[in-house]
Amino acid sequence: MYAIFDDSEGRYFPEKFLEYKSSEKNDNNFIRFTRNVIGNLEPVLQQVTMATGRYFVFTEYNSNGNDFWGVFLIRDTEGKYFSPQ
């Protein structure tokens, strides 16, 4: 699944993501970006009924020459939710 983040006024995550995306790609910039946005994502997700979990995972990778970024909310539940395709 994928999402398009709300970029209306007052939304912090899209602005900071675009700043990071145009920055030099290194570990320090990635860690700074994740630390900057985590505090903004938590209260936004608390308003979403099914967005429960314990851990955020940020990832950045390249596949077939395309850059990808992922933000995952890992639930603290037992069981299997994802299956390999």
Please, where are the H alpha helices in the chain?
A: 12-21, 27-46
Strand-pairing partners, residue 71, are: 58
Amino acid symbol at 32: R
SS3 of 66, please? strand
Amino acid symbol at 8: S
Delimit the domains of the chain by residue range. 12-74
CB 75 within 8 A of CB 53: yes
Give 48's DSSP letter. S
Q: What would the pLDDT profile of 55-75 be if each residue is shown by its tens digit?
A: 788 999 889 998 888 888 777
Q: What would the pLDDT profile of 17-69 be if each residue is shown by its tens digit?
A: 888 989 998 999 999 998 888 877 666 666 666 555 667 889 998 899 988 88
Say how far apart CA 56 and CA 42 lie, in whole Å: 9
